[in-house]
Chain A
Amino acid sequence: MDGMIAMLPAPLQQLSSHIDFQGQKVAERTYQVILTLAGIIGFFVGYSTQQLSYAMYTVMGAAVFTALIILPPWPFLFRKNPIVWQTPIEEQEASSSSDNEKKDKKKETKKTK
């Protein structure tokens, strides 16, 4: 994915498609429900028209429809529970030197992640 982003023109590289965890859960449930329903409906469409191709078109059409819903990172659907990160240590006020040492050790452990 990073390689593909590097190929985009410069303004587009700033766009991100991340969604929060609750959004990921909603997205997965959405495509599961829509596509399963499409499979069932597609079977009956195919059976009544006696054309297997019609059943497949139903499923593929539903997949395209679902892609429009879940692929873009819609903020009103998938970014309603943003992840709350800890504030970085550098922003905290420095008090005593011993605290600074502890913070240095913390910084180093964080860097070796």
Chain B
Amino acid sequence: MHNLLSRANSLLAFTLWVMAAVTAACFLSTVFLDYTVSNHLEVNDIKIRNVRDYATDDKQADLATLAFNLKVDFSRLFNWNVKQLFVYLVAEYKSAGNAVNQVVIWDRIVERAERVVMDEIGVKTKYYFLDDGAHLLKHDNVTFVLRYNVIPNAGYLRLVQSTNQLVVPFPTTYTTTRRS
């Protein structure tokens, strides 16, 4: 502390300690909050085609196309420790081949704002809904689940599931036309 550089060094180091402490306090002030929201989901216009799965084993597999409407109010989730949300829609079902199938068909980054309401209508799937086999046809209950990562400014990456799910029976016949 006897010269300017020494004092500047001490001051800077202490400043960084204080900023780290404030960041830790910010994390502690938000870690026990409840981050669940409900959603309103409708799935329409489901078509299944039987196609050749060229990417893996070259066998015939079921490919589903669909459109959905999704309405969620995320405003309540954002606080000073939430930077953005990573929201995704998963189709979960049981099949003869696998006990658990989970296919992510759509995702979206939702950034912080004063009021954040997602009201999507007629959204097509972002990723292919290709079954591991041909088990989608006539399936009674494919469940659509909305989950999201809460991406913090400080802390761990939290995964939350929305409160309600949608169970949908799938078509009983294949579509043979090209138009989805």
Contacts and interface: CB of A to CB of B under 8 A. Distances in A.
Contact of B81 (A19, A42, A52, A63): A52
B14 to A, nearest CB: 6
B22 A42 contact: yes
B18 interface: yes
Given A31-B11, A47-B80, A71-B8, A17 B22 contact: no
B18 A46 contact: no
Contacts, number: 78
A77 to B, nearest CB: 12
A24 B26 CA distance: 33
Interface in A84-110: none
Interface in A45-98: 46-47, 49-52, 55-56, 59-60, 63, 66-67, 70-73
Main secondary structure of the interface of B (DSSP, over half): helix
Contacts of B5: 1, 4
Residues of A in contact with B, size category: 20 to 34
Interface of B: 1-8, 10-12, 14-15, 18-19, 21-23, 25-26, 29, 79-81, 153-154
Closest 4 CB pairs of A and B: A17-B4, A24-B1, A39-B18, A50-B80
Interface of A: 1, 4, 16-19, 24, 27-28, 31-32, 35-36, 38-39, 42-43, 46-47, 49-52, 55-56, 59-60, 63, 66-67, 70-73
